[in-house]
Amino acid sequence: MAYTEEDKKYILNKHLRNISGIGDKEYQKKVWIRGEGPEVDDFDETVCYFFDNGDHILENYQDYKITESQYNILKNFRDEFESFNDGDHRPYLPEEFIDTPEWEKIMNMAKEVLKAFDYQKK
């Protein structure tokens, strides 16, 4: 399926918005843990969306007008996030890992991605 430039811009923006949730502890507490709206989201949904769309974006990053520098930051974050999720050490529920040093590293890396893309949540 061929995406239009507008489609690609939308897909990338949605991916960055997902990453903004990964980098925002207050959002995680409010939405993932307490289930307060108006957003409807949880950690598992975030992970699935991140890899489903993110891998496609990385594989076709030039089509999304992503620079080499942005690609490298995004790829490093993706690899670290995958390692965090695949690890046997990770507690299952966000309330169990949200205050760990490992999760702090993931949140900081997410913020670096957003900075590289000059992303501002709307």
Q: How far apart are CA 13 and CA 114, in angstroms?
A: 10
Mean pLDDT, the chain, rounded, equals: 92
1 pLDDT higher than 70: no
One-letter amino acid at 115 equals K
- pLDDT tens for each residue of 45-91: 999 999 999 999 999 999 999 999 999 999 999 999 999 988 666 66
Tell me the Ramachandran region of residue 121: left when phi exceeds 0, alpha when psi lies from -120 to 50, beta otherwise: beta
Using alpha carbons, select from 18, 117, 121 the residue that is nearest to residue 70.
117
Q: How confident is the model at residue 121 (pLDDT cuts 50, 70, 90)?
A: confident
Q: Which residue has the higher pLDDT, 10 or 91?
A: 10
Q: How confident is the model at residue 2 (pLDDT cuts 50, 70, 90)?
A: confident
